[in-house]
Structure 1
Amino acid sequence: MHIAQLPPAPNDPSNLVENTPAAAALGKKLFFDRRFSSNQAVSCASCHDPDKQFQDGRPVGTGVGTSARRTMPVVAAGHSPWLFWDGRKDSVWSQALGPLEDAAEHGGNRLQYAHLMATHYRRDYEASFGKLPELADLPRDASPLGSRAEKMAWNAIVPKTQDNVSRIFANMGKALAAYQKTLQYGAARLDRYIDGVQSGDIAALQILNPQEKNGLRIFIGRGECITCHNGPLLTDQHFHNTGVPSRNPEQPDIGRGGATAKVLQDEFNCLGRYSDAKPEHCQELRFMATDDPHLAGAFKTPALRNVALRSPYMHAGQLASLTDVVRHYVKAPAAVLGHSERQPMNLSETEIRDLAAFLATLSGQIVESGVK
């Protein structure tokens, strides 16, 4: 559980620039640039706000429109093989591309972004990815997604040029991923307490109060929280149905059950033409479970680092506080869709509050390394 035991995020063979300072510096600029949206008012940082734990504090994300799910923090995202609540992306760079073309998030289009790169970031782009293709004779707006007009404009472009534009777009994602890889969680009170347990430091053993220590006992014991929230980031990086109530009961969110086909069809996945990986490097994607009935209504286990600082909770902000979250798991209601993995627990109201208090000991600084 100690953050110092977290190894570096594994290298992503589909992104050869993810560890280069030049790509990270470009990615940081793109992350905060509001021009990369349909209304020139939304950047990645609009929803992944550094002052709000790289999320937005809203029940569901809000960009140029309103999303259906909660914004996930991007800190330490490189440790997960699957991105988003449903895992519909298989790398940080492909995840970064999704919101840019999503109508409710950035709402822009692929050729618009390519023109912006040529106008404002040519030198930065070419330092990492080589010569930027010529775009002067192309329309301002075109994309295989988006409006009817954008699709028609895209279809009028010859395939080689389409490929050039899509490669610029993919490289934007790779630069964004390089920046996000520099964001990591620092030590929290729990980590300093663990240091005290290991060293016998009497002062460090007092860092947690009796209520928080009892919450820790419940977390790793009767509460069974550690079953899914384990390791230094306190997540197993898997998908679980825990009976979380639907935001819209009439149209329950299918979660992971609806995402496997999307990631297989994604042109920016590990096996796609814009990936830097060889097929043998894409084992997660090649052997992904696609027919498991337990995927219905299952969502990714979020990391619990800094969790007390980023309410509300669950995949669509259904629960307002950590106490509400604990009460949900104690009650373990039946799932609206699929089958919940949880069983009711016998915790008193005092124990519920103790467990919620322990979760506040997981908060620490977010550290950005190596980017100017």
Structure 2
Amino acid sequence: MRAPTVAVLTLLAGSALALYWTTQSSAAWTEQEIRLVTSLALSKLPPLPADPSNAVADEPIAATLGKALFFDTRLSANTEVACATCHLPDRQFQDDLPRARGVGETARRTMPIAGTAYSPWLFWDGRKDSQWSQALGPLESAVEHGTDRAYISHLIETYYADQYSAVFGPLPPLAQVPEHASPTGAEAALQGWLSLGDEQRDAVNRVFANVGKAIAAYERTILPEPSRFDIYADALAASGNTAGILSDEEIEGLRVFVGKGECTKCHNGPLLTDNYFHNTGVPAVPGLQDDLGRTTGTAQILADPFNCLGAYSDAGPDDCAELKYLTAAGDEMIRAYKPPSLRGVADRPPYMHAGQIKTLGNVLEHYNAAPAAPNGHSEITPLSLDAGEIAALESFLGTLSPISAKGGQP
């Protein structure tokens, strides 16, 4: 008898795999699994938490000003970089690059914005504790916007005085403030800062902080959109009739996601992130300065004058529990980073905090193998997933993409 051809063997293997997925997906979910799956649905996302550190966080007029600032390239040293340069509205407010590029190149990947108002910590290392404080960092970064707080204050006075006053009240007098002044950054800005009295410094800081608060008011309006997974999870919760919503392979991937893959240890809740910090053995990038992640971020947030307990916060001392009880990070936080939301993850390679991993399949292979961390201790262990389980898991992650694209240009 003639041996089967390669094509026949491939067909038989594909049929067997399809039968495996069909058998697996037709098996009933347990009550515990249903609770876990439905807890990930966007319909379970609670209302936006208040931000007591930003008195205008939910003011539409502040969001209008913030949106204008978000897209304004004049808020940069070369007048070519805006917040939207790296946070592209039609790309989930990220830029598809391994590391962000402003007036120079940064050392980390741009994080998407949708849903970040729910997070107590911002940036990969959590070095900021509010969206408004986070917005200030790139403005004074030498490789992002490349400006300084006096420059930003003068720009507001020149182009946004009326809009600013409508939200925050009259601008303070800035005539005696040099064009460039900041306690950080270039020598000219440092010298300009030293030339100011305490009252002038406070005025500049307050205008600068308010710029961040306006931008944050706009960013609070950027929320994740429903996906096919959400339709499936809601149907599972309502009636159990989920026929035709996801493929058998995608359902098998969901089973791996909530089970053997251990993905929900870090990617849980409706935003599919725990907003905490984890060392998962991600390789370092050759040529970049050693990055210690949360270890450095914790020290920075505690020293930040624009944190929740700082003079420019609108919060009271009882409103800042997360920061109030934060202590210096231990060794477990070395190279620990915040996992971004998995919503839309299939559409935004490359991955990890510095774009070290090119494809989503490579990411799954990384977690399956669980290599040792280049520094600190990785908290992941090998998963022993087979090729079919990895393929199914990748298919499921594709169901987290928004059903419809949404822009944000003014």
Please report how far the alpha carbon of residue 201 of structure 1 lies from its aligned counterpart in structure 2 after TM superposition.
6.7
Please report how far the alpha carbon of residue 292 of structure 1 lies from its aligned counterpart in structure 2 after TM superposition.
2.3
1:327 aligns with 2:365: yes
Please report how far the alpha carbon of residue 19 of structure 1 lies from its aligned counterpart in structure 2 after TM superposition.
0.3
Please report how far the alpha carbon of residue 205 of structure 1 lies from its aligned counterpart in structure 2 after TM superposition.
2.7
Distance 1:271 1:366, change over 3 A: farther
Please report how far the alpha carbon of residue 87 of structure 1 lies from its aligned counterpart in structure 2 after TM superposition.
0.2
- 193-202 vs 271-280, greater mean Cα deviation: 193-202
Question: What TM-score results when the alignment is normalised by the length of structure 2?
Answer: 0.88
1:360 aligns with 2:407: no
Residue identity (%): 51
Q: Which of 136, 155, 161 is the matching residue for 1:122?
A: 161
Residue 224 of structure 2 aligns to a residue in which SS? strand
Name 2:80's counterpart in structure 1: 41
> How far apart, in 1, do the equivalents of 2:287 and 2:212 lie?
34
- Supply the AA of the counterpart residue of 1:65: G
Please report how far the alpha carbon of residue 291 of structure 1 lies from its aligned counterpart in structure 2 after TM superposition.
3.6
Q: Which runs of 4+ in 1 moved over 3 A?
A: 199-202, 249-252, 365-369
> How far apart, in 2, do the equivalents of 1:17 and 1:192 lie?
34
Q: Which of 179, 188, 204 is the matching residue for 1:165?
A: 204
Whether contact under 8 Å (2:182, 2:189) holds in the other structure is: yes
Whether contact under 8 Å (1:323, 1:356) holds in the other structure is: yes
- Supply the AA of the counterpart residue of 1:161: Q
Please report how far the alpha carbon of residue 275 of structure 1 lies from its aligned counterpart in structure 2 after TM superposition.
0.3
- Supply the AA of the counterpart residue of 1:284: E
Deviation digits for residues 11-58 of structure 1 (CA, Å, limit 9, x no counterpart): 011001000001000000000000000000000000001011100000
Distance 1:86 1:115, change over 3 A: same
Q: Which of 191, 195, 198 is the matching residue for 2:237?
A: 198
Please report how far the alpha carbon of residue 136 of structure 1 lies from its aligned counterpart in structure 2 after TM superposition.
2.5
Whether contact under 8 Å (1:83, 1:90) holds in the other structure is: yes
Deviation digits for residues 217-273 of structure 1 (CA, Å, limit 9, x no counterpart): 000000000111000000111000010111137843110011111001101001110
- Supply the AA of the counterpart residue of 2:226: A
Residue 312 of structure 2 aligns to a residue in which SS? coil
5+ residue gaps in structure 1? none
Name 1:182's counterpart in structure 2: 221
Whether contact under 8 Å (2:107, 2:288) holds in the other structure is: no
Please report how far the alpha carbon of residue 196 of structure 1 lies from its aligned counterpart in structure 2 after TM superposition.
2.2
Whether contact under 8 Å (2:90, 2:405) holds in the other structure is: no
Which one has the bigger strand percentage?
Answer: 1
Deviation digits for residues 43-87 of structure 1 (CA, Å, limit 9, x no counterpart): 000000101110000000100001000000111111000000000
- Supply the AA of the counterpart residue of 1:123: D
Q: Which of 45, 48, 59 is the matching residue for 1:6?
A: 45
Please report how far the alpha carbon of residue 144 of structure 1 lies from its aligned counterpart in structure 2 after TM superposition.
1.4
1:338 aligns with 2:381: no
1:288 aligns with 2:326: yes
1:348 aligns with 2:395: no
